[in-house]
């Protein structure tokens, strides 16, 4: 008996690696991409989700969120959002190549209900840069396990990008993805 699953991620968008350098290209009209939340950049560790460690939805930084709101970092269409809001995919609008940014809180295990998150968007909604996507209840978020306040940002695109691994993140101000500069 064969079972066909629908709606799985497209693994054709996984970046190509050449030694230690990532080889991808991204439409320059989208760069740089700014942070969707305030917080601190943190590294992927043993407490990170399997999605982060195995890069199933692309690559990118993690932010330990301190703000009460998640905003759209660019003009996009909400491709997918879980019922609880802890998993969301944004597809960039008005660019020449397909660019998908995945935002995931914690391990992504709260698909139905997450008491600390309130959604403001649904599947298929069009959002503008700076528009609120989620409202967070920091007291409830911090009362749970420490990984629950971490927001993983994964990008699937054809690009050579860099991102910070430490420091502070300010919503719509801190750059999370920018084009890698050649070192002379």
The SS3 assignment for 21 reads strand
Structure-block tokens of residue 111: 């698909």
Whose tokens are 């997450």? That residue is 114
More confident residue, 106 or 33: 33
Kindly list the distances between the CA atom of residue 45 and the CA atoms of 64, 94, 118, 158, 164, in Å, as whole numbers in the listed order.
13, 35, 27, 26, 15
Q: Distance between CA 174 and CA 33 in Å, rounded?
A: 9
For the cut 50, the answer to whether the pLDDT of residue 24 exceeds it is no
Whose tokens are 């943190």? That residue is 42
Whose tokens are 């690559």? That residue is 59
For the ranges 70-74, 115-119, 159-163, 167-171, the lowest mean pLDDT is seen at 159-163
More confident residue, 14 or 104: 104
CB atoms within 10 A of CB 178: 16
Cα three-residue angle 10-15-16, rounded to 5 degrees: 125
Hey, what domains does the chain have and what are their CATH numbers? 42-164 (2.70.70.10)
Q: Distance between CA 10 and CA 152 in Å, rounded?
A: 19
For the cut 70, the answer to whether the pLDDT of residue 49 exceeds it is no
- pLDDT grade for 13, boundaries at 50, 70 and 90: very low
pLDDT of residue 14: 39
Q: Please, what sign has the CA dihedral across residues 20, 26, 29, 30?
A: negative
Q: Distance between CA 177 and CA 169 in Å, rounded?
A: 12
Structure-block tokens of residue 78: 């909400």
> Which residues does residue 174 pair with via DSSP β-bridges, in sequence order?
none
Q: Please, what sign has the CA dihedral across residues 6, 53, 153, 29?
A: negative
More confident residue, 140 or 28: 140
Q: What are phi and psi of 11, to 5 degrees?
A: -80, -5
More confident residue, 178 or 88: 88
pTM, 2 dp = 0.75
Model confidence pLDDT, tens digit, residues 138-164: 998 888 777 778 888 888 776 678 888
């Amino acid at each position: 008996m064969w079972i066909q699953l629908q709606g799985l991620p497209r693994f054709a968008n996984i970046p190509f690696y050449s030694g230690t350098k990532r080889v991808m290209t991204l439409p320059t009209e989208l760069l740089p991409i700014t942070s969707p939340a305030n917080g601190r950049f943190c590294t992927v560790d043993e407490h990170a989700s399997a999605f982060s460690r195995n890069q199933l939805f692309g690559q990118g930084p993690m932010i330990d969120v301190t703000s009460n709101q998640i905003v759209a970092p660019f003009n996009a269409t909400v491709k997918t959002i879980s019922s609880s809001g802890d998993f969301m995919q944004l597809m960039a609008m008005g660019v020449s190549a397909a660019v998908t940014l995945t935002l995931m809180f914690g391990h992504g295990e709260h698909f139905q209900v997450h008491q600390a998150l309130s959604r403001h968007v649904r599947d298929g909604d069009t959002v503008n840069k700076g528009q609120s996507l989620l409202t967070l209840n920091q007291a409830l978020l911090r009362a749970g396990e420490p990984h629950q306040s971490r927001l993983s940002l994964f990008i699937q695109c054809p690009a050579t990008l860099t991102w910070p691994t430490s420091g502070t993140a300010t919503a719509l101000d801190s750059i999370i993805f920018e084009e890698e500069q050649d070192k002379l």
